[in-house]
Amino acid sequence: MSTSFSELSYADAGFAFTSFLSILGTTMVKLFGEESLAAEYLGEMRDSGGFCVILVSEEGAGSELGRTETTYAQKGENLVLNGDKYFSTNTDAAGFLLIAARSADDPSAHSVVLVPRGTKGIDIVKRWDMHGMRGSGTYQVRLRDCAVPAHHALAGNGLRILEAGLNASRTLIAATAIGVSRRIRDLSMEYAAGKQVKGARLIDNAVFASKLGQIEMLIDVMRNQCLAAAAHYDALLASENPAASLYRTGAMRPALAAKMYCGQAGWSVATIGSEMFGGLGYTNEHLITKLVRDLRYVGLVEGGGDVVRDLIFSRGDLLCLRRS
Amino acid sequence: MSTSFSELSYADAGFAFTSFLSILGTTMVKLFGEESLAAEYLGEMRDSGGFCVILVSEEGAGSELGRTETTYAQKGENLVLNGDKYFSTNTDAAGFLLIAARSADDPSAHSVVLVPRGTKGIDIVKRWDMHGMRGSGTYQVRLRDCAVPAHHALAGNGLRILEAGLNASRTLIAATAIGVSRRIRDLSMEYAAGKQVKGARLIDNAVFASKLGQIEMLIDVMRNQCLAAAAHYDALLASENPAASLYRTGAMRPALAAKMYCGQAGWSVATIGSEMFGGLGYTNEHLITKLVRDLRYVGLVEGGGDVVRDLIFSRGDLLCLRRS
Amino acid sequence: MSTSFSELSYADAGFAFTSFLSILGTTMVKLFGEESLAAEYLGEMRDSGGFCVILVSEEGAGSELGRTETTYAQKGENLVLNGDKYFSTNTDAAGFLLIAARSADDPSAHSVVLVPRGTKGIDIVKRWDMHGMRGSGTYQVRLRDCAVPAHHALAGNGLRILEAGLNASRTLIAATAIGVSRRIRDLSMEYAAGKQVKGARLIDNAVFASKLGQIEMLIDVMRNQCLAAAAHYDALLASENPAASLYRTGAMRPALAAKMYCGQAGWSVATIGSEMFGGLGYTNEHLITKLVRDLRYVGLVEGGGDVVRDLIFSRGDLLCLRRS
Amino acid sequence: MSTSFSELSYADAGFAFTSFLSILGTTMVKLFGEESLAAEYLGEMRDSGGFCVILVSEEGAGSELGRTETTYAQKGENLVLNGDKYFSTNTDAAGFLLIAARSADDPSAHSVVLVPRGTKGIDIVKRWDMHGMRGSGTYQVRLRDCAVPAHHALAGNGLRILEAGLNASRTLIAATAIGVSRRIRDLSMEYAAGKQVKGARLIDNAVFASKLGQIEMLIDVMRNQCLAAAAHYDALLASENPAASLYRTGAMRPALAAKMYCGQAGWSVATIGSEMFGGLGYTNEHLITKLVRDLRYVGLVEGGGDVVRDLIFSRGDLLCLRRS
Mean pLDDT (whole number) for A151-160:
95
> Taking CB atoms and an 8 Å limit, are B197 and A64 in contact across chains?
yes
- Contact between A187 and A288 under an 8 Å Cβ cutoff? The reply is yes
- A158-323, which class in CATH? mainly alpha
Q: What was the pLDDT predicted at C188?
A: 95
pLDDT at position A323 is: 44
| Cβ–Cβ pairs < 8 A, chains B and D | 112
Per-residue model confidence as pLDDT tens digits over D65-109: 889 999 999 999 999 999 999 999 999 989 999 999 999 999 999
D44: pLDDT strictly greater than 80: yes
Per-residue confidence (pLDDT) for residue D37, from 0 to 100 = 97
Q: How many CB atoms lie within 10 A of CB C34?
A: 15
* pLDDT tens profile C225-248: 999 999 999 999 999 999 999 999
Q: What is the percent of chain A where pLDDT is above 90?
A: 76
CA distance D114 to D244: 20
Are D151 and D36 in contact, with CB atoms under 8 Å apart?
yes
Interchain CB contacts (distance < 8 Å): A and B: 86
Contact of B74 with chain C, judged by CB distance below 8 Å, is answered with no
pLDDT value of residue B2: 58
Q: Which mean pLDDT values do the consecutive 10-residue runs of chain C (324 residues) have?
A: 78 92 92 96 92 92 85 97 95 95 95 97 97 95 98 95 89 95 96 89 91 96 97 94 92 94 96 91 96 94 78 68 46
The pLDDT tens digits of the residues spanning A3-58 come to 678 888 999 999 999 988 898 999 999 999 999 999 999 999 999 889 999 999 99
Q: Which positions in chain D touch A210 (Cβ < 8 Å)? A: 207, 210
Which secondary-structure segment (H or E) carries D124? strand D122-127
| Chain mean position to CA B74 | 31
User: Where, residue-wise, is CATH 2.40.110.10 in chain C?
Assistant: 34-152
- For residue A218, count CB atoms less than 10 angstroms from its CB and return exposed for 0-12, middle for 13-18, buried for 19 or more: buried
Neighbors of chain A by Cβ distance (3+ pairs < 8 Å)? B, C, D
Range of lowest pLDDT (A62-71, A76-85, A253-262, D179-188): A62-71
Put simply, the answer to whether A63 touches B278 (Cβ < 8 Å) is yes
Is the distance from CB of B271 to CB of B219 less than 8 angstroms? no
At the topology level, CATH places domain B34-152 in Butyryl-CoA Dehydrogenase, subunit A; domain 2 (2.40.110)
Q: Which residues of A touch B300 (CB under 8 A)?
A: 274-275, 278-279, 281-282
- The single-letter DSSP state of residue B286 is S
C63, C196, C300, C301: best to mutate for the D interface, most D CBs within 10 A: C300
Going A308 to A312 to A314 to A315, the CA torsion angle's sign is positive
Q: 3-state DSSP call for residue D18? A: helix
A206 shares contact with chain D (CB less than 8 Å) = yes
CA-derived radius of gyration, chain B: 21
The pairing of strands C94-103 and C51-55 is: parallel
Nearest C-alpha of chain B: how many angstroms from C147? 44
Per-residue pLDDT of D217-258, as tens digits, reads: 999 999 999 999 999 999 999 999 999 999 998 889 999 999
By the CB < 8 Å criterion, does D235 face chain B? Answer: no
- H or E element in which residue B141 lies: strand B138-149
Contact with chain C for residue D207, Cβ under 8 A: yes
Long-range contacts of A200-207 (CB under 8 A, 24+ apart): A203/C322, A205/D206, A206/C310, A206/D205, A206/D206, A206/D207, A207/B306, A207/D206, A207/D207, A207/D210
Instruction: Return the higher-pLDDT residue of D316 and C252.
Output: C252
Choose, out of B201, B207, B212, the residue to mutate when testing the contact with C (most C CBs < 10 Å). B207
pLDDT for C319? 53
Contact C224 A225 (CB under 8 A): yes
Give the per-residue pLDDT at C291.
97
For residue B119, count CB atoms less than 10 angstroms from its CB and return exposed for 0-12, middle for 13-18, buried for 19 or more: middle
- What average pLDDT does chain D have? 91
**Residue B312: predicted pLDDT:** 83
Contacts of C210 in chain B (CB under 8 A): 207, 210
Residue D199 contacts A where some CB pair is shorter than 8 Å: no
C199 in the Ramachandran plot: left (φ > 0), alpha (ψ -120 to 50) or beta? left
B301 touches chain A (CB under 8 A): yes
Positive or negative torsion for Cα A144, A146, A150, A155: negative
pLDDT at C199: 85
Determine the pLDDT at residue A219: 97
Q: What is the 3-state secondary structure (H, E, C) of chain A?
A: CHHHHHHHHHHCHHHHHHHHCHHHHHHHHHHHCCHHHHHHHHHHHHHHCCEEEEECCECCCECCHHHCCCEEEEECCEEEEEEEEEEEECHHHEEEEEEEEEECCCCCCEEEEEEECCCCCEEEEEECCECCCCCCCEEEEEEEEEEEEHHHECCCCHHHHHHHHHHHHHHHHHHHHHHHHHHHHHHHHHHHHHCEECCEEHHHCHHHHHHHHHHHHHHHHHHHHHHHHHHHHHHHHCCCCHHHHHHHHCCCHHHHHHHHHHHHHHHHHHHHHHCCCHHHHHECCCHHHHHHHHHHHHHHCCCCHHHHHHHHHHCHHHHHHHHC
Residue pair C247/C156 in contact (Cβ under 8 Å)? The answer is yes
Task: Tell me phi and psi for residue B57, to 5 degrees.
Answer: -65, 145
Share of chain A above pLDDT 70, in %: 96
CA angle C70, C73, C76 (to 5 degrees): 155
pLDDT at D145 over 50: yes
Q: What are the chain A neighbours of D205 within 8 Å (beta carbons)?
A: 206
Q: How far is D207 from chain A (nearest CA, A)?
A: 5
What is the reported pLDDT for A308? 81
Show which subunits contact C, needing at least 3 CB pairs below 8 angstroms. A, B, D
Measured from the Cβ of residue B219, the count of other Cβ atoms closer than 10 Å reads 23
Q: Taking CB atoms and an 8 Å limit, are D283 and C129 in contact across chains?
A: yes
A197 CA: distance to closest CA in chain D (Å): 12
ipTM of the complex: 0.93
Q: How many CA atoms lie within 13 A of C164 on its CB side?
A: 28
Question: How far is it between the farthest Cα atoms of chain B?
Answer: 80
Any B CB within 8 A of A86 CB: yes
Question: Hey, is the C-beta of C216 within 8 angstroms of any chain A C-beta?
Answer: yes
Q: Any chain D CB within 8 A of the CB of B317?
A: yes
Contact state of B87 with A279 under an 8 Å Cβ cutoff: yes
Lowest mean pLDDT: which of A59-68, A106-115, D251-260? A59-68
**Residues with Cβ within 8 Å of residue C75, at least 6 apart in sequence:** C147
Q: Which of B229, B224, B204, B213 is nearest to B269 (CA)?
A: B213
What confidence score (pLDDT) does residue D324 get?
39
Alpha carbon B277 to its chain centroid, in Å, reads 30
| D207 vs A contacts (CB less than 8 Å) | 206-207, 210
- The 3-state DSSP class for residue B285 equals coil
Sheet strands (E) in chain C: 51-55, 71-75, 78-89, 94-103, 110-116, 122-127, 138-149, 196-197, 200-201
**Chain C residues close to B205, C-beta within 8 Å:** 206
Backbone angles phi, psi at D105, to 5 degrees: -95, -30
Q: Show which subunits contact D, needing at least 3 CB pairs below 8 angstroms.
A: A, B, C
pLDDT category, A2, cuts 50, 70, 90? low
What does pLDDT average to in each consecutive run of 10 residues of chain B (324 residues)? 78 92 92 96 92 92 85 97 95 95 95 97 97 95 98 95 89 95 96 89 91 96 97 94 92 94 96 91 96 94 78 68 46
Q: Is B238 on the interface with C (CB under 8 A)?
A: no
Instruction: Give the model confidence (pLDDT) of A222-265 as tens digits.
Output: 999 999 999 999 999 999 999 999 999 888 999 999 999 999 99
Distance from CA of D20 to the nearest CA of C (A): 20
pLDDT confidence band for A324 (50 / 70 / 90): very low
Q: Which chains touch B (3 or more CB pairs under 8 A)?
A: A, C, D
Please count the residues of chain A. 324
Whether A170 and chain B come into contact, CB under 8 Å, resolves to: no
CA angle B120, B126, B131 (to 5 degrees): 140
The number of CA neighbours under 13 Å toward the Cβ of D271 is 20
pLDDT of residue C300: 87
Residue C102: phi, psi to the nearest 5?
Answer: -115, 160
Nearest to B212 among D193, D260, D313 (CB): D313
Query: What is the residue-averaged pLDDT of chain A?
Result: 91
Which residue spans of chain A are classified as CATH 1.20.140.10? 158-323
Amino acid letter, C47:
D
Q: What is the pLDDT of residue C278?
A: 85
**Residue D137: partners with Cβ closer than 8 Å, 6 or more residues away:** D18, D89, D90, D91, D92, D93, D127
Closest Cα of chain D to B93: distance in Å?
Answer: 35
Q: What is the spatial distance between Cα C49 and Cα A301, in angstroms, rounded to a whole number?
A: 54
pLDDT value at position A136? 93
Q: CA angle, corner C250, sides to C249 and C255, nearest 5?
A: 95
Alpha carbons B27 and B34: distance in angstroms, whole number? 13
In this complex, do C128 and D283 lie within 8 Å of one another by their Cβ atoms?
yes
Q: Look at D132 and C282 and tell me if their CB atoms are within 8 Å.
A: yes
Amino acid at residue number A321: L
Residue C285: which of D129, D132, D267 has the nearest Cβ?
D129
Say whether residue A224 is in contact with chain C using an 8 A CB cutoff.
yes
Interface mutation vs chain D, best among B253, B309, B315, B320, most D CBs within 10 Å: B309
Which residues, 6 or more positions from B252, have their beta carbon under 8 angstroms from its beta carbon? B167, B229, B232, B233, B236
Minimal-distance CA residue of chain B relative to C204: B206
